[in-house]
């Protein structure tokens, strides 16, 4: 929600601000996937089968640009790239945990 101050550009709604970083259609799932371990590109892709590799590449770039994940590239053949959460990315854990919990209670358990 946006306050008067937000209209002046002084501060923003915290939820709005957060959604600018993880508001994409896939970003929360990607971060959730990286929550506990660093993972290679292909590993993430396997775990999110409905996400095309092209879009995954794009989303990872944005997450890296926003400082939520790191990208470590190994100059090997075939190529290897590992993604991991930054401290800022880790700080999202409470949000992701609540999402997971809600999904468990309201979706998974009702199937």
Answer yes or no whether residue 52 interacts with its own copies by CB under 8 A: no
| Contact call for residues 28 and 22 (beta carbons, < 8 A) | yes
Q: What is the DSSP letter of 10?
A: S
Identified binder of DNA from the candidate list 2, 19, 37, 61, rule CB under 7 A: 61
- With CB under 5 to 8 Å by kind, the binding choice for 61 among its own copies, DNA, none is DNA
Smallest gap from residue 69 Cβ to its own copies (A): 15
Gap between the Cα atoms of 91 and 89, Å rounded: 5
Residue of 28, 41, 64, 70 interacting with its own copies (CB under 8 A): 28
CA dist 47 and 50 (Å) reads 9
Q: Which is nearer to DNA, 23 or 105 (CB)?
A: 23
- Strand pairing partners for 72? 82
Count of residues in contact with its own copies, rule CB under 8 A: 42
């Amino acid at each position: 929600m946006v306050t008067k101050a937000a209209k002046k550009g002084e501060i923003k709604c915290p939820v709005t601000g957060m959604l600018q970083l993880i508001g994409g259609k896939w970003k929360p799932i990607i971060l959730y996937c990286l929550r506990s371990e660093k993972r290679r590109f292909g590993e993430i892709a396997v775990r999110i089968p409905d996400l095309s590799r092209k879009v995954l590449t794009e989303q990872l770039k944005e997450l890296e640009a926003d400082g939520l994940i790191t990208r470590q590239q190994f100059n090997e053949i075939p190529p290897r790239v590992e993604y991991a959460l930054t401290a800022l990315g880790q700080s999202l854990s409470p949000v992701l945990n609540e999402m997971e919990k809600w999904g468990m209670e309201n979706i998974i358990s009702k199937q």
